[in-house]
Amino acid sequence: MKQLLRIAFFSTLIVMSGGAALAVQPDEVLKDARLEDRARHLSSELRCLVCQNQSIDDSDAPLARDLRVLVRERLQAGDSDGAVMDYVVARYGEFILLRPRLSASTYALWLAPLVILLSGAILARQLFRSAGDRKASSPPLSDEEARKLRRVLEQG
Amino acid sequence: MIVEIGHFALILAFAVALAQMGSAAWAAYQSDDAALSIAPSAAMAQFGLLIIAFSALVWAYVASDFSVANVWQNSHSAKPLIYKISGAWGNHEGSMLLWVLILALFGAAVAAFGENLPARLKTNALGVQGCIGAAFLAFVIFTSNPFARLDPAPFEGQGLNPILQDPALAIHPPLLYAGYVGFSMAFSFAIAALLEGRISAAWARWVRPWTLVAWMFLTLGIAMGSWWAYYELGWGGWWFWDPVENASFMPWLAGTALLHSAVVMEKRDALKVWTVLLAIITFALSLMGTFLVRSGVLTSVHAFAVDPERGIFILAIIAFFAGGGFALFAWRAPLLRQGGIFAPISREASLVLNNLLLSTACAAVFIGTLYPLALEALTGAKISVGAPYFNAVFVPLMIPLLVAVPFGPFLAWKRGDILGVAQRLVFAAGLSILAAIVAFAITQRGPALAPLGIGLGTWLIIGALSELASRVKLFQAPLAENWRRLCSLPRSSFGTTIAHLGVGVAVLGIVSTTAWRSEHIMVMKPGEPVDFAGYTLTFKGITKREGANYVEDVGEFVATQNGREITSLLPSKRQYTAPPTVTTEAAIHPSLAGDFYVVLGEANAGGGVVARLYFHPLIRLIWIGACIMFLGGALSLSDRRLRIGAPARRRASPKLASQSP
């Protein structure tokens, strides 16, 4: 219940503040620049759960801050990027990933653009093929027509 | 009294829209030519009435008439005048009234400027417009009436959300709606043509100017929204793949494809069926955009109307127009005869490639935007589809398209010579490679592929200019000849060059700011200088200031470069009183190399303050590019109007007409 109230309170706050992003605070930044870069990259792929379509990297919600700190703690503990993501997903569910993982429920999401592109390409190919057919299907000139054509050409 | 006149005019406009629709249907079914002239007059009348209704609403806002519920909810007497006016469409009811007003404006423009349209086509198209107008007017009157009164009248209004109190957001919705609604013209013409079962290349010539106008405004509207997000949302992001942004981007992608396929149809009588389908799809996407934003079905920062009843009403409108449009298409499209054959390497084929990639990109955005909703409705599983997905899918589709763009205008119709074109683009290719190498040499960090992006932008710009150079035979003929050719070029061909050049400029901006944005977050103490992105920044202190309807804490930062003072940056945190809201106002110092962007954070106990410094290299090119694209469209439009409006003049100069692409 407390958690719910907290979420309700902070989501109102965010709506009120118009999502003015204050995001990462100076005290969160890791000393190790490469580790920090990795942390920033991972943060941009994680959704702030109490915001509307913001990553935790852009959000100033306290929950987003907790998550940023969590990600940095895991990285400092020596986790790989994949392990950090697994850890976060295990706690918060797939909903937190801004780039959904390939699974039975997301095959359609990831494959649809490719399928559409290929079917479009096949349809477009038919445009040329039928154009080619139409050209081929026009019958060759008869002898009479050929003679006429030659006459016209010679005159011109 | 004025409000009642507005309300009455609104209801009358609904009746007139019904008459516009009914008279057109009567004229079509009874073959009654006398009835053909009713629809154009009705379109003019509808527009006039909606001007009255809209002016009445603006008046109520300017006069702060809080007895009108809509004004009470969204305005405040202490608001600056410009936001009182823009507040009229900064809310659901008012913005829907603006939507129907712009719809009526387009209808009236067809009635007024469409003298050269065949009477039957014109009337049918205006009939469809009347039908769309009637549906949305019913929506406004029955679910979103902006003129509803309150009794007793409150003393003071509740105020407009401060993040909407902004000049860019004052003109963003009208531009966006002009784009969305403008595509209704292409739709109406498509339906009219399908009803007649007959479509000619001339159809494309009538439809293209309307589509072009819509596309130009949508381009500007999207750019404006992105610019607003950049300076208002606090860290300099300019595109978030937010569902509401996607809602406006999908019609833009489809509309861009439509503009290009209509060229093929106009010049070569080919791709008719596809062009008609695309016209229907583009408007269906515009309606869907309206639905997504207005129904609040997607919870996102922009959705400020949450009411399921309205959502269902708009959904019914979409189902009727999109469903009806597609059904009519399936029934009638087989009647349309395809003409104009062409080889796989030709101008037509390059435009087919353009359409293939743009439509796929549009479909990808569509799927990404709606997938979470569909999945949750079907299985209850909740997933998020955010920026990383869209970047992963969209960018690979855009790269081949952008690489291909400079080839298109060089290729001949019917059968082109790709090697010949490649030869003429050698100079552009060389410069692009050079640009990529220079970008690689002067940057130390960032993604390895980013310099190639700079090469791509250069390729688009120089490629577009090469085409112009080859048309005027630059370096191949004497200067006088160059000049003579330049003067006799049709404006539409300048339009193409400039629009493509604008795409290149925007690409340069997008690549630079995405790859090489730098950022520094720290606590700054007064008087302690900080070096960042070639500037030295010193924090001076915080002062309080009072604005028209807010108080703010303003931080003063002095930026110097090589010991010389460049500018003072004044980012602030604002506390608005009505409604009580805090916003952060970034301070931005633009320069040729990029924007220096400072955001003020929390004050620190030790007298310091959290400051966020960003440098966004070349970011302005994104919006400059969009403006250049708009300009290209405008040039092309000015040419087309001339040719359509004055067929006699066209006959007088056949050379000019035959040269245009």
Residue-wise DSSP of A65-125: HHHHHHHHHHHHTT--HHHHHHHHHHHH-GGGBSSPPPSTTTHHHHHHHHHHHHHHHHHHH
Q: What is the pTM of this model?
A: 0.89
pLDDT at B415 exceeding the cut of 70: yes
For residues B461 and B500, give the distance between their C-alpha atoms in angstroms, rounded to a whole number: 7
Question: What ipTM was reported for this prediction?
Answer: 0.86
* Predicted pLDDT at B649: 38
B600, β-bridge pairs: B611
How many CA atoms within 13 Å lie on the side-chain side of B461?
A: 19
pLDDT tens per residue, range B242-265:
888 899 999 999 999 999 999 888
* Predicted pLDDT at B307: 59
Instruction: Give the number of other Cβ atoms within 10 Å of residue B151's Cβ.
Output: 5
Place of tokens 């303050």: B609
Cα separation values, B161 from B84, B503, B548, B550, Å:
12, 34, 15, 12
pLDDT tens per residue, range B385-411:
999 999 999 999 999 999 999 998 888
Which backbone phi and psi does B608 adopt, to 5 degrees?
-90, 180
Closest chain A CA to residue B369: A109
For residues B51 and B65, give the distance between their C-alpha atoms in angstroms, rounded to a whole number: 19
Cβ contact A55–B386 (<8 Å): yes
Is the backbone peptide bond immediately before B579 cis, with ω within 30 degrees of 0? yes
1.10.8.640, 3.90.550.10, 1.10.760.10, 3.80.30.20: which CATH number matches A2-96? 1.10.8.640
Place of tokens 């409150």: B154
**Helix or strand or coil: residue B160?**
coil
Q: List chain A domain ranges.
A: 2-96, 107-155
B577's tokens:
């009183």
Q: List chain B domain ranges.
A: 1-165, 184-392, 395-516+625-659, 528-620
DSSP A139: P
For residues B151 and A111, give the distance between their C-alpha atoms in angstroms, rounded to a whole number: 56
Q: Single out the residue of A57, A144, A136 nearest to residue A96, CA to CA.
A: A57
* Predicted pLDDT at B129: 94
pLDDT at B420 exceeding the cut of 80: yes
Burial letters B464-486, b for 16+ CB under 10 A, else e: bbbbbbbbbebeeeeeeebeeee
Element of type H or E holding B553: strand B550-561
Q: What residues of chain B lie within 8 A of the CB of A16, using their CB?
A: 579-582
Instruction: Give the number of other Cβ atoms within 10 Å of residue B653's Cβ.
Output: 13
Element of type H or E holding B260: helix B243-268
For residues A94 and B535, give the distance between their C-alpha atoms in angstroms, rounded to a whole number: 43
Is the backbone peptide bond immediately before B152 cis, with ω within 30 degrees of 0? yes
Q: What percent of chain B has pLDDT over 70?
A: 94
* Predicted pLDDT at B167: 83
Closest chain B CA to residue A113: B364
Cβ contact A128–B521 (<8 Å): no
* Predicted pLDDT at B13: 96
* Predicted pLDDT at A3: 41
A vs B: CB pairs below 8 A: 137
Query: Mutation test of the interface with chain B: which of A48, A68, A127, choosing the one with the most B Cβ atoms within 10 A?
Result: A127
Helix, strand, coil percentages in chain A from 3-state DSSP, rounded to 5: 65, 5, 30
Which 115-144 residues of chain A touch chain B by CB within 8 A?
116-117, 120-121, 124, 127-128, 131, 134-135
Q: Is A19 on the interface with B (CB under 8 A)?
A: yes
Distance from CA of B366 to the nearest CA of A (A): 10
Q: Is A156 on the interface with B (CB under 8 A)?
A: no
For residues B280 and B270, give the distance between their C-alpha atoms in angstroms, rounded to a whole number: 18
Of residues B473 and B83, more confidently modeled: B83
User: What does the mean pLDDT of chain B come to?
Assistant: 87
Read off the pLDDT of each residue in B204-217 and give the average, rounded to a whole number. Answer: 91
DSSP B523: E
* Predicted pLDDT at B57: 96
> Which stretches of B63-91 are DSSP H helices?
69-74, 81-87
